[in-house]
Amino acid sequence: MSALPSCPQCQSEFTYEDAGMFVCPECAHEWSPQQAGAAEVARVWRDAAGNVLQDGDTVTVIKDLKLKGGGGVVKMGTKVKNIRLVEGDHDIDCKIDGFGSMGLKTEFVKKA
């Protein structure tokens, strides 16, 4: 017996196949086998220039970034070392000297 994928909506393991589609009996979600394969593709983070980023890279800020709450401005050209890539609104978790821990978006950095 082949192993069927878990439901992408509710993570139920009780899925079954019906007429070429996968069906979840718990939440009634239906999806095609092509969608099941696409969900397994790993995300790739890219900087503003299109270079692939990885955990631990050093990046440079490409534009002045105002910090919320009146915390100042991260100036263009600021180097950020040892980044950590995360899922969510901001793609990069990092520590910047003089500012502390913060989240950055990949569209505002380039790989150093």
pTM of the model as a whole: 0.63
Read off the pLDDT of residues 53-89 as tens digits, 9 standing for 90 and up.
999 999 999 999 998 877 789 999 999 999 999 988 8
Read off the pLDDT of residues 28-47 as tens digits, 9 standing for 90 and up.
888 887 765 554 556 889 99
**Residue 62: CB atoms within 10 Å:** 16
Q: Which residues contact 79 (CB under 8 A, 6 or more apart)?
A: 58, 59, 60, 112
**22 contacts 13 by C-beta, under 8 angstroms:** no
Q: Which domains, ranges and CATH numbers included, belong to the chain?
A: 7-38 (2.20.25.10), 58-111 (2.30.30.40)
